Structure 1
Amino acid sequence: MSKFKDLGRETVIGSVLLGLTYLVMLAGVITGLWWVFLLGAAGSYAMDALLLHRLPELAKLVQQIRLGITPRALLRQLLALGLLITTPTATSTGIGMVLLTCLVLFGLQLVCGVTARLLRIRRRLPIVTRNIDLGPLRIPDSPPMVLVREPMSRLLPLDAFLVAGAVAYVAAGAVWAVVAGAVVSVSLTVLALALFGWYLVKARTIPEPERVMEFTQSWLDSYRPEVVLYFSGSADSAYQVNMWLEAVAALPRRSVVVLRERVIAAQLAPTPVPVLCVPTSTDLMALDFGPARVALYPANTGKNIHMLRNPMLGHVFVGHGDSDKIASINPFSKVYDEVWTAGRAGRDRYDRAGVGVRDDEIVEVGRPQLDAIRTDTAPNTVRSVLYAPTWEGWTDEPGNTSLTDAGPQLIRTLLAAEPRVRVLYKPHPFTGVRSAAARNAHRRIVAMIEEANRSVAGNGDQRPTGELTSLERRLAAFDTDNGATDEAHNSREEGTADPGAAAELQKLSEEWHRVYWDGRADTEHLVIQGPRPTLYSCFNQADLLISDISSVVADFIATEKPYAITNCEGITDGEFQDKHPTSSAAYMLAPDGGGLDAALAAVHSASADPLAGDRTGLKTYLLGPGEPDSQSRFANAVEELYRRTSDRHPVGSGAAGADGADSPSASEDESPTRPAPASGTPSATDTAPARV
């Protein structure tokens, strides 16, 4: 629920409190009451800390209206001078000392800010890497990030000692208090400046950006990648590339992950595959990927063009899930050499859309991510219903999501259902980013689930067990950068691939899920957000899915369990199912919940599930045949495309050899050394992907 806090209320309350602290200080100046001024000053420092650590959105707002940390600090110092001036016992010496110290602090803080900026620039490499040895770049340890991240927000409040000394001078007439406060404030600022300078000198060992890019090219020449997994996206979209890491890592060809955003690099899941994050387009386009002949794209984004311009690669859109949504028939897809879909449904979808993707450009490769999906149901005493609506989308087309039109009513009906069912509510990560109605519907659903849990003894009061907390701490090390060190330091430390990291993460995740689900009462309704529990683990718990037209439905089909879709488009159910083939084996629901009884009946009794056979056929249509498995089909599609692209653009060895040593140029038709396939991996001729 934290993601959906009412930012409007938070902003209003925070703004009022911030303004109130300065009004209280002003009142202290006008009345000459030092304790009133001290109360306001203490409140202003507390608000500065809250803005830095707890209220980032409000901090951005006050910065935009010219009330950032620097104006606030200067205003606070001005009011402190005002307090001294209006105090009859204050001498010109005390006032002058405070004024002089304020000027000295301002100058020192200015130098600190410039030095911190230079340090950030010097340590900001043009690339971010993982599983690539950066030893030759001689990257020194990261400075404490508490210094270089928002440095002025931490340096400017050091005037607290000076302000406290001024108040003590007014209260007790002790000049030594002003002197002591001035000395402490200046000394701490000088210490910070010395630290900045020390780390800036150490950072001089880092090569210039041009040298770093030369090193990157040298590494590529040595590694000789053959497959590129390319991704660009927003901070919330890392899951789209993460879902392909395991499948790419299992390929027999040498692979490299190429990212464009630093925030995605920080959120990338563990992988043994080398990772290159190249934010600047000119840097990326200057790189030569040597024998690479296949590029895989999980998302359609504008920055894809920077890799698409490479004519030596066979460019493939693999997507991040098949569905009947418009995003799955994006006309942009025709820029790729091929589009890989899970099954026949994807091919037919492009044929009906007529967006320029030819049938001979489509390859059916299955969904490698679904190979481990279970078709059985968790042995719970109460049946579970998973409601996983998609988000509102960027357009206002009717039926984008059932959340706004039907979500609260569906949950209300499920909570009152007899026989009782357990509700698992897992909204899309983007829910509410554009629509206030979606945010409000989400909040209503959460409130209903929390109230339902309170009404049942033993529900809603579970706390994480010691074992679960321990597992979460261990998993946290894999999730994201904790912010303690900068990305240059992290790239250096992650220079050697840990072959056991991905396996350890999988083992920890499986254990976390076991402990999590075992620790929940069968009757406890759950609101599930964040990376865990995963969507697929929810699939394994659910007896029925209620969702919208999205890849969630297509993936759930792999379980062969009942599913339902809410028709919020204002058309008949028949028209809806003709328009969206993934709904052809669904129990259709009306926005008011009509049709839910039939779906629930199918959950409680197999004899009341007339759509079971339809789901089996739809599974093959959407996801392809069960044999060979999707990973084998995907690997063979990569192999086939690599072969055909290499025929058009023969792979030479003009760059450094695979062992890193310089080698003479070979003939243009010489192929790179290929790693041996993993044990049990079928050959390309055994399981050729379907192309027509």
Structure 2
Amino acid sequence: MTLREHANRETVIGTSLLGLSYLVMLAGVITGLWWVFLVGAVGSYAMDALLLHRFPHLAKLVQQIRLGITPRTLLRQLMALGLLITTPNVTSTGIGLVLLVFLALFGLQLVCGVAARLLRTRRKLPVVTRNIDLASLRIPDSPPMPLVREPMTRLLPLDIFLVVGAVAHVATGRLWLVTGGAAVSLVVTVLALVLVGWHLRRALAIPGQEKVMQFTQSWLDAYRPEVVLYFSGSADSAYQVNMWLDVLDRLDRRVVVVLRERTIAAQLAPTRLPVLCVPAATDLMALDFGPARVALYPANTGKNIHMLRNPMMRHVFIGHGDSDKVASINPFSKAYDEVWTAGRAGRDRYDRAQVGVRLDEIVEVGRPQLDEIRTDTAPNAVRTVLYAPTWEGWTDEPGNTSLIDAGPALVARLLAADPPVRVLYKPHPFTGMRSAAARRAHKRIVDMIEAANRRAARTEPDPRPLAELERRLADFDTDNGSTDEAHNSREEGRSAPTAVADLQSLSTEWHRVYWDGRADEEHLVIQGPRPTLYSCFNQADLLISDISSVVADFVATEKPYAITNCEGITHSEFQTKHPTSAAAYMLLPDGEGLDSALAAVRGSGPDPLTAERVELRTYLLGPSDEPSQTRFAAAVDDLYARTDAQVRAVHEVSTEADAAAV
């Protein structure tokens, strides 16, 4: 079942149960049967809990149609009063007590909700940080997140004690039962208010926005950054900046990572670099980055303009992967002082596109992320084929992805191959986000792989070693939802110097255990952050993919790769249009051409494209006579020196002009 199908099913079932609970309560009021009303009330409270903790999508939906927690609570309370009123043996004292306590609860909950909002506002700093000591800001520990995150969804159901007491009063006629329920509801609500008030009082010690920004400027003045890694993007694009963190960490320069979205800050990979997230444009543009002379941009987004306006730096687009896609020749790139590409292919791509980027502004720096890629293959008993299609994209142009037109047919042929091969299927994280056809193709492939493994009756590996490693890896994630952003920023300013190295060691061990625990013949569907794409490269003898940066990266291995031509043009036209396919085994959507690719990796036939792959690697990624990290660092140093000299020259001219004016 796809995620969308699951969400639709959740919506239908959840909405039906929610509506049924209120109908049952109404039936209890009409018939005067207290136990019927109680069943409906318990069901409604259970649905409140499920909407809060298990069905967030459905909770948003019912909120949009004005059935949020507040109207649901009021409706339940009205029906509870209706049950009291229609019951002959209930006194006016009992009815008045329930009504009075409902009003008191509403007032207390309102005050508590306002206090919780004030608490959230006070603790929401204008910046989010990592690896920056915030001790001088005196940030107290985080309050309990259930009380400050959507507090009314927690507070309003506290009337359950009063409602149950009212039903017990109807059933027995004993007033003390409703009195006791009322007392419990009032006490727990008052306790919640006291707790929120206490945390609000503590939060008043946190400096205001102006002082926090003064602290931020003081930190920048003391740190004196030289290079800025700047990133802005949607919540699902954090990988675009994460891929550069280790590269920048290895520079012999003071680097600061500047982010614009709090969601990206929460998803940023562990790093030793100082991280400064400044959501407000006015706050960012007021900061002085001092001696920083180089700003690097992994993505083209509108918010880049807030850093591009800084004349003390030279601004460089470094991207998040080279490919023949249109995104790699975005006309926005002409806004930067320089564009850095991996190899000559990137230069030629801009030259052909004529989008306003001058050739003298393009610098070839290699692809530092690929320096650790292996050119050999893991010693498996059978050959391994990695199928890693890209996603469907935002348009319906043919050839965006092979998944829809060719994916199931390709995988079916691979699963039936003789001699057998092992299939690793790693779809793009965005697969199926826009296209229902892509979702269906993905599901068919997953079903085929699972069926093939069942037929082979393979024994599942012991999950305990991986589970323990995943638990230890999770310990490095300070943003687990139990504490707020300010608390996390404070704690991450005190992180141990060896934390990143320890995490990398754990990740390496996780990958070793994962791959060692899989049979050489076991087909795998690989989704999520682990195993990484590059670890799949090291397992694969052959890659099948589409026109994307995955192909350009895999070329670094110099191992065979295949591309499916789904554009309805000849292979020759396809390879002319997409230079990254120049050394590929070309496939048709029905899988024609696959036998030649498999023969090359099995050694049962010649591999005529070996020399072409070596030549293409140099063309796409630059020469391999020195590590790309060295070339990248040299480019940073060269640009820094040139920019700093220019800034100093301008300053000297300005100083002389001021002196002459005096």
- TM-score in terms of structure 2 length: 0.96
| C-alpha displacement of 1:5 | 5.2
**How far apart are the structure 1 equivalents of 2:186 and 2:608?**
79
Q: 1:590 to 1:613 in 2, by over 3 A?
A: same
For 1:515, give the aligned amino acid.
V
Change beyond 3 A, Cα 1:238–1:480: farther
Provide the secondary structure at the position in 1 that maps to 2:518: coil
Pairing of 1:85-484 with structure 2 (within 5 A): 85-458=85-458, 461-464=460-463, 466-479=464-477, 481-484=479-482
SS in 1 for 2:648: coil
Deviation per CA, 1:617-639: give whole Å up to 9, x if none: 11111111112100000000000
Instruction: Confirm or deny that 1:506 pairs with 2:495.
Output: no
Deviation at 1:157, TM superposition (A): 1.1
In structure 1, C-alpha distance between the alignment counterparts of 2:201 and 2:281, rounded to whole Å: 30
Task: Specify every segment of 5 or more residues in structure 1 that has no aligned partner in the other structure, as ranges.
Answer: 655-666, 669-692
Among 637, 640, 643, the alignment partner of 1:639 is: 637
Q: Retained in 1: the 8 A contact 2:294–2:639?
A: yes
Aligned residue type for 1:88: P
Amino acid at match of 1:643: A
Unmatched segments (≥5 aa) in structure 2: 657-662
**Contact 2:599/2:605, CA 8 A, preserved across alignment:** no
Q: Structure 2 vs 1, CA of residues 431 and 97 (structure 1 numbering), >3 Å: closer, same or farther?
A: same
CA distance in 2, matches of 1:499, 1:316: 30
Which amino acid counterpart does residue 523 of structure 1 have in structure 2?
E
Distance in 2 between residues matched to 1:303 and 1:138, nearest whole Å: 31
Relative to structure 1, the CA distance from residue 651 to residue 283 in structure 2 (aligned partners, 3 Å threshold; closer, same or farther) is farther
- The one-character-per-residue Cα deviations of 1:440-464 (angstroms, maximum 9, x if unpaired) are 22122212222222111115x4451
For 2:614, which of 616, 620, 627 is the aligned residue?
A: 616
Matching of residue 83 in structure 1 with residue 77 in structure 2 = no
- Would you say the 8 A contact 2:466–2:513 is kept in 1? yes
Which residue of structure 2 aligns with residue 688 of structure 1?
none
Aligned to 2:562: 564
1:630 to 628, 631, 636: 628
Q: Is the 8 A contact 2:478 2:488 kept in 1?
A: no
Displacement of 1:93:
1.3
Superposition deviation, residue 108 in structure 1: 0.8
Shift of 1:499: 2.5
Distance 1:3 1:362, change over 3 A: farther
Structure-2 separation of matches of 1:420 and 1:84: 73
**Shift of residue 223, structure 1, vs aligned partner:** 0.7
Note closer, same or farther for the CA distance 1:649–1:497 as it changes in structure 2 (3 Å cut). Answer: farther
Distance 1:5 1:378, change over 3 A: farther
Q: Distance in 1 between matches of 2:493 and 2:236?
A: 26
What RMSD over aligned residues (CA atoms) do the two structures have, in Å? 1.8
Q: After the TM superposition, which of the residue ranges 322-331 and 402-411 deviates more from structure 2?
A: 402-411
Q: Within 2, Cα distance between the matches of 1:378 and 1:445?
A: 24
Alignment partner of 1:72: what SS?
helix
Instruction: Report which structure shows greater RCO (CA 8 Å, sep ≥6).
Output: 1
1:531 partner amino acid: P
Identify which range, 146-155 or 124-133, moves more after superposition.
Answer: 146-155
Q: Deviations over 1:214-244 (max 9, x none)?
A: 1101111111100000001111111111110
What residue number does 1:536 align with?
A: 534
2:10 matched to 1:10? yes
Instruction: Say whether the 8 Å CA contact 2:2–2:439 is kept in structure 1.
Output: no
Corresponding residue SS for 1:650:
helix
CA contact (8 A) 1:313 1:645 kept: yes
CA–CA separation in structure 1 for the residues paired with 2:291 and 2:50? 52
Q: Cα distance, 1:567 vs. partner? A: 1.0
Kindly indicate whether the alpha-carbon contact (under 8 Å) linking 2:109 and 2:156 is maintained by their aligned counterparts in 1: yes
Question: What is the distance in 1 between the residues matched to 2:448 and 2:83?
Answer: 53
> How far, CA to CA, are the matches of 1:329 and 1:261 in structure 2?
25
C-alpha displacement at 1:640, in angstroms? 0.6
Contact kept? 2:562, 2:585, Cα under 8 Å = yes
1:586 to 575, 584, 587: 584
For residues 499 and 651 of structure 1, the distance between their equivalents in structure 2, rounded to whole angstroms, comes to 39
How many angstroms does 1:341 deviate by?
Answer: 0.5
Residues 385, 545 of structure 1: 8 Å contact kept: yes
List aligned pairs for 1:659-678, cutoff 5 A. none
Once the two structures are superposed, residues 135-157 of structure 1 have per-residue CA deviations (whole angstroms, 9 ceiling, x without a partner) of 11111111111211121111111
Residue-pair matches, total: 655
Work out the CA distance in 2 between the residues paired with 1:531 and 1:400. Answer: 23
In the alignment, residue 623 of structure 2 is paired with which amino acid? P
The residue number in structure 2 matching 1:690 is none
* CA distance in 2 between partners of 1:4 and 1:522 (Å): 33
CA–CA separation in structure 2 for the residues paired with 1:45 and 1:497: 41
- CA distance, structure 2, for counterparts of residue 82 and residue 592 of structure 1: 67
2:551 to 529, 550, 553: 553
1:435 deviates by: 1.6
Task: Select the residue among 566, 575, 600 that pairs with 2:598.
Answer: 600
Taking structure 1 as reference, are residues 11 and 292 closer, same or farther at Cα in structure 2, changes over 3 Å only? same
More displaced stretch, 441-450 vs 239-248: 441-450
Deviation at 1:535, TM superposition (A): 0.5
Q: Which amino acid aligns with 2:193?
A: L
Change (3 A) 1:630 1:480: farther
Residues 88-110 of structure 1 deviation map (CA, whole Å, 9 limit, x = unaligned): 22111111111111111111111
- Residue matched to 1:39: 39
CA shift for structure 1 position 607: 3.8
> 1:515 and 1:389, CA in 2 relative to 1: closer, same or farther beyond 3 A?
same
Q: Residue 324 of structure 1 aligns to a residue in which SS? A: coil
Q: Does the 8 Å CA contact 1:4/1:439 hold for their aligned counterparts?
A: no
Name the counterpart of 1:523: 521
Letter paired with 2:231:
F
Q: Which AA in structure 2 matches 1:417?
A: A
Distance 1:439 1:202 in 2: 49
Q: Is the 8 A contact 1:115 1:197 kept in 2?
A: yes
For 2:640, the aligned partner's letter is Y
Offset of residue 482 of structure 1: 0.1
- Spell out the pairing of 1:66-77 with structure 2 (5 A cutoff): 66-77=66-77
- 1:66–1:467: structure 2 CA closer, same or farther, 3 Å change rule? same
Q: Supply the distance in 2 between the matched residues of 1:583 and 1:4 (Cα, whole angstroms).
A: 34
Shift of 1:410: 1.5
Query: Per the alignment, in what secondary structure is the counterpart of residue 205 of structure 1?
Result: coil
Counterpart contact for 2:384–2:421, Cα < 8 Å? yes
Moved more, 157-166 or 274-283: 157-166
Rounded to whole Å, the distance in 2 between the matches of 1:145 and 1:434 is: 34
Q: Do the aligned residues in 2 keep the contact of 1:291 with 1:652 (CA within 8 Å)?
A: no
> Which whole-Å CA distance do the structure 2 matches of 1:397 and 1:131 have between them?
44
* 1:479 Cα deviation after fit: 4.4
User: Would the aligned equivalents of 1:272 and 1:498 in 2 still touch at CA under 8 Å?
Assistant: no
State the percentage of identical aligned residues: 77
**Corresponding letter in the other structure for 1:381:** A
Deviations 1:153-172 (A, max 9, x none): 11111111111111111222
C-alpha change, 1:2 and 1:504, in structure 2 (3 Å) is farther
Q: Partners in 1 of 2:112 and 2:649 — Cα distance?
A: 52
Query: Whole-Å Cα distance in 1 between the matches of residues 248 and 418 of structure 2?
Result: 46
Letter aligned with residue 552 of structure 1: V
Counterpart of 2:573, as a letter, is E
What's the secondary structure of 1:564's corresponding residue? strand
